[in-house]
Amino acid sequence: MSRADPSRPFFFTASSSDDHSSSQEQDVDNNSDSDSPRSRRDLPPLPLKRPPPHRNHHRRRSQLGPDGAPPSSFTFPFQAHPGNPDPVPGLIPTPRRMSLGSIPMTSRSPSVNSQLPPPNPPFLNGADSSPYKSHSGSVSLANLHRASTSTNDPLPRVSSATTVFRSPFLSPASRPSSLWAPPPIVPPSASPSVLALPLPQKKPLLTTRLKAKLTDADKPWLTNRRPSRRWETASWWVTFIAIIVGLLAAAALCFQGWETVNVLTDSQLCLVMQDDFTGSSLDSDNWSLDVELGGFGNGEFEMTTDSSSNVYISNEQLYIMPTLTSDTIDGGYSSVMDGGTYQLQDCTAQGASVDQGAWVLLDRRQNDNSTTANSTTTTGNGNSTTTGSNGNSTTTGGSGNSTTTGGSSNSTTNSTTSSSSPCTAVSNAQAGTVINPVMSGRLNTRGKKSIKYGRVEINAKLPQGDWLWPAIWMLPQGNGSSNSSQGTGVYGPWPVSGEIDIMEARGNLPSYPAQGSNYVRSSLNYGPFAGGSTPISSGSSTTANLLKSIYGWVSTKRGNYASGFHLYAFEWTGEWMRFYTDNRLQAMINLNKITSKNSDSYFFNTGGFPGVAMNASSGKEVVVADPWNTAYGGSAAAPFDQQFYIVIDLAVGGTSGWFPDSVGGKMWFDGSATAMRDFAAAQDTWSATWPSSADDRAFRIDYVKMWQLCGA
């Protein structure tokens, strides 16, 4: 050579003429993608050119001369291998490339000289009859075109998933492209297919459908049917009749249960009183106000007044509104605690003595945490006292809201009233007395409206606030004399003549441990001795009367009974009693059968009273006799077989045990002589829980209805 050859790879042979001759011997028609009919033998060999010196690459390609041709136009050894779709150099005016297969190769080692095998891409492998390959392994576009126009047309059409491949090692601008579709995957056991992978064919399942109806011969189990057909028919009828009998028995049982439910129909009742509070003031034909500050037998901390601030009608509802005494009297809170005197106007208390309670004992009321709803207990408050020589358990406790005037000389009380008069209160810090810190209201129908057997309905909304005690209850009318004390009936003073509590509740929040405003309860209270007449020793300095309480309650898990109006009702005959809230399904007490004095349903027998008791004052034993056996012709329902009237009040606190000691932040003790003073000293604490709105703080009564059992 006259000039130095360009740098060449080690695998090129030294003789370029051999390369040209080797490449010229190949069939262009089979080894090139060119559509030109010219063969490679007619083309002059292309000399290898030395790359031009470094030039400015920013010049246009069209400005490059023969020596400035782009590198992609050089004769490169891998441009003419069989199967390369590049056109054969020289067939078109622009510089083209030649296949890699036309260039002889040599080993790096001078002793080894072998020609590299042509590339064999995996996507070109397949049957020799594939139109993509010629006999030497290269692809001809002309052959592809001719094959695609043949009648058999075995050429697969390129789908939308066709992939564009470009020749390797070339710049994108000069890299030719070809279209290629991925070949189908042919399972080894099946014949090759270039179209698609055949889906496996499942062998259809045999049908289980009968071709023809089975005959009796195909049913061997029917061969012995005829002899047993009679028994089969009989068993079918027996089953059918048993079902019918069961349905009839169930219907009869339901009907009997329906008939045995004690219900007072409207035709059995005669209306005695209906007060919807539509007027501007209380109807004096129905109601009387109790004006007193003596505690009403429970050591209550309020004074009841006839003030329009405490008892009034608004929005056709009766409001019993508790207020602070310090907001009314001269001197305010300081006068309540010390140095004040308050004279209650229009006081209705009987006699000149303080209205004392019928008993004094810690936790006289029922223990709410140890009783069950609708249950009958032998203890009025969960306390048991052993009395007499027989060691029988006697009940101790107190009445709900009963009033007794005066008392026996044997009665020992621990009263926290503020003075010796039930109408005057004096506060003295040294003596431990205070003026009742709360004013409230109490009204009754005594001497005006009463019933013996019938129904009572009160629709009411309970108050909200700590230590508020709303109650709807009944006391015996007695002989009708206005001189007799409240609670004195035909059988004697309270509790001999009984007490009926239709509804009692607490204003404390539902979180209060001893049943808050989400509970309401009812009770029947009675005993064989008059209040204070026979105190019973309990082994300590405290005394109490024998008392029996039958009680129960209902509760709500959604809200409380202070959030809206609820119906509180009492149905009562000589044979049964029912207390319920809203409907009869929510019965607090349900006494179904009161039959005779010889049965367990007789109230004296139910009480479980001891045969004898000891008078703590005299130290003598006293026989516990049945006070209702012969007196006034008492029936099996005695003492609840006489006229009773309604009492509605809103009490505050007290020492009767209704609010158990050391529960819910209680700030006084029932046995303390300064219980009311301790309560008044914490006024800022408990008054803060009382709502400012009268609609939420007041005990609101929508209506009161009372029916007498006709003919009773």
Angle (CA) 540 366 324, round 5°: 95
CA 406 vs CA 222, 388, 532: distances in Å? 97, 27, 9
pLDDT of residue 579: 96
Q: How far is CA 369 from the centre of its chain?
A: 25
CA 440 vs CA 290, 325, 333, 505: distances in Å? 10, 10, 17, 16
Give one DSSP letter per residue of 500-524, joined into a string.
EEEEE---S-TT-TT--TTEEEEEE
pLDDT of residue 610: 84
Domain count, the chain: 1
3-state SS, 148-188, equals HCCCCCCCCCCCCCCEEEECCCCCCCCCCEEEECCCCCCCC
Angle (CA) 235 238 243, round 5°: 130
Three-state DSSP class for residue 631: helix
pLDDT of residue 171: 55
CATH number of the domain at 277, please: 2.60.120.200
Q: Please check whether residue 395 lies inside any domain of the structure.
A: no
Q: What are phi and psi of 235, to 5 degrees?
A: -65, -35
Instruction: Give residue 554's identity as a one-letter amino acid code.
Output: V
Q: Please check whether residue 58 lies inside any domain of the structure.
A: no
Instruction: Give residue 185's identity as a one-letter amino acid code.
Output: I
pLDDT of residue 578: 95
Cα–Cα nearest to 569, from 517, 522, 639, 526: 522
Q: Please check whether residue 289 lies inside any domain of the structure.
A: yes
Cα–Cα nearest to 645, from 472, 504, 529, 405: 472
Cα–Cα nearest to 410, from 531, 546, 548, 547: 531
Collect all residues with Cβ–Cβ distance below 8 Å to 512 and sequence separation of at least 6.
Answer: 506, 663, 664
Q: Please check whether residue 287 lies inside any domain of the structure.
A: yes
Collect all residues with Cβ–Cβ distance below 8 Å to 60 and sequence separation of at least 6.
Answer: none
Q: Which stretches of the chain drop beneath a pLDDT of 50? A: 1-7, 11-41, 57-66, 72-76, 78-80, 90-114, 126-139, 141, 144-145, 147-151, 153-165, 352-419, 481, 538-543
- Per-residue tokens: 676: 């009311």
**Adjacent-strand bridge partners of 543:** 360, 537
Judge whether 183 and 159 are in contact, CB under 8 Å.
Answer: no
pLDDT of residue 129: 47
Q: How far is CA 621 from the centre of its chain?
A: 58
Q: Please check whether residue 530 lies inside any domain of the structure.
A: yes
Q: What is the Cα–Cα distance from 610 to 606, expressed in whole angstroms?
A: 12
- Per-residue tokens: 354: 């303080």
The residue segments making up the domain with residue 550 are: 273-349+418-709
- Per-residue tokens: 406: 């005066």
- Per-residue tokens: 71: 């590198």
pLDDT digit string, tens, across residues 302-359: 999 999 999 999 999 999 999 999 999 999 999 999 999 999 999 988 654 433 222 2
End-to-end Cα, the chain, rounded Å? 149
pLDDT digit string, tens, across residues 369-414: 333 334 333 333 333 332 233 333 333 333 333 333 333 333 333 3
Reported as half-sphere exposure (CB side, CA atoms, 13 A), residue 514 has a value of 22
CA 443 vs CA 83, 162, 302, 364: distances in Å? 117, 100, 14, 25
Q: Please check whether residue 1 lies inside any domain of the structure.
A: no
Q: What is the Cα–Cα distance from 121 to 175, expressed in whole angstroms?
A: 18
Q: Please check whether residue 169 lies inside any domain of the structure.
A: no
Cβ-based burial of 676 (10 A; exposed 0-12, middle 13-18, buried ≥19): buried
Q: Please check whether residue 362 lies inside any domain of the structure.
A: no
pLDDT of residue 570: 96
**Adjacent-strand bridge partners of 459:** 567, 703
Q: E strands within 344-415?
A: 375-376, 384-386, 393-395
